[in-house]
Chains A and B, each alone.
Chain A
Amino acid sequence: MDRAGLDEVLKRPTVWVCPGLLPAFSVSIHPMVAQLLLGHSRFKSEYFPAEEELFARLAGGVHEPLAMVISCCDARVVPDVIVNSQPGDLFGLRNIAALVPKFGAGHHRAVGAAIEYAIHGLKIEHMVVCGHTHCGGLRALAQGPVKLAAHMPSLAEWLGDAEQVLAHIRPMLAGVDDEELIDHLAYESVPLQLENLLSYPAVTWALSRGRLQLHGWVYDLSSGGLHGYVPEDNAFVPLDSAGRRSIVMPEPRLRELKRE
Chain B
Amino acid sequence: MIKRETRKLVEGNLRFQSAVFEPQRESFEELLSGQAPRALYVGCSDSRVVAEMILDVVPGELFVVRNIGAIVPHAEDPSATSLGAALDYAINVLGVPDIVVCGHDLCGALGAIVEGTAPRGSHLERWLRKGSTEVEGFDLLDHTEEMTREQLVERFIATQLKTLTEYETVRLGLEAGRLGLHGAVYDPRSGRLRVAMPGSHTFIELKSPEQRSTLLPVVARTDAVSGAE
Interface residues of A (CB under 8 A from B): 1, 5, 9, 14-16, 18-22, 25-30, 32-37, 39-45, 47-48, 55-56, 58-59, 61, 63, 65-68, 73-78, 80-85, 87-96, 106-117, 120-121, 125-126, 128, 134, 136-137, 140, 148, 151-155, 157-159, 213, 215, 221-226, 239-241, 243, 246-247
Contact = CB atoms under 8 A, between A and B. Distances in A.
B206 A94 contact: no
Given A19-B214, A73-B63, A84 B15 contact: yes
Interface string B1-38: 11101111111111111011110000011011011011
Contacts of B100: 33, 36
A222 B78 contact: no
A44 B192 CA distance: 7
A221 B31 contact: yes
A34 B206 contact: no
Contacts of B220: 15, 26-28
Interface in B154-206: 167, 169, 180, 182, 188-193, 195, 197-198, 206
B215 A47 contact: no
A42 B56 contact: yes
A159 to B, nearest CB: 7
Contacts of B222: 28
Contact of A36 (B15, B31, B38, B84): B38
B48 A88 contact: yes
B115 to A, nearest CB: 14
A76 B63 CA distance: 8
A89 B46 CA distance: 10
Interface of B: 1-3, 5-17, 19-22, 28-29, 31-32, 34-35, 37-40, 45-50, 52-57, 59-68, 71, 73, 78-90, 92-93, 97-98, 100, 106, 108-109, 119, 122-124, 126-128, 130, 167, 169, 180, 182, 188-193, 195, 197-198, 206-209, 211-223
A134 B32 contact: yes
B10 to A, nearest CB: 5
B49 A87 contact: yes
A247 B2 contact: yes
6 contacts: A27-B216, A36-B38, A43-B56, A107-B82, A128-B9, A153-B84
Nearest to B195: A37
Contact of B45 (A21, A114, A158): A114
Contacts of A223: 17, 21
A110 B6 contact: no
B31 A224 contact: no
Given A109-B130, A114-B67, A240-B14, A32 B188 contact: no
What 8 A-B pairs come out closest when comparing CB atoms? A154-B84, A224-B21, A113-B127, A158-B85, A48-B191, A39-B56, A107-B81, A112-B123
B137 to A, nearest CB: 26
A44 B222 CA distance: 28
Given A20-B215, A109-B79, A158-B85, A151 B92 contact: yes
A20 B50 contact: no
A36 B206 CA distance: 12
Contacts of A48: 190-191
B61 to A, nearest CB: 6
Contacts of B188: 55, 58-59
Contact of A32 (B22, B38, B45): B38
B5 A41 contact: no
A135 B36 CA distance: 14
Nearest to A43: B56
A251 B29 CA distance: 34
Nearest to A157: B81
Given A33-B39, A33-B182, A239-B13, 5 more contacts: A25-B197, A37-B193, A87-B47, A115-B123, A215-B6
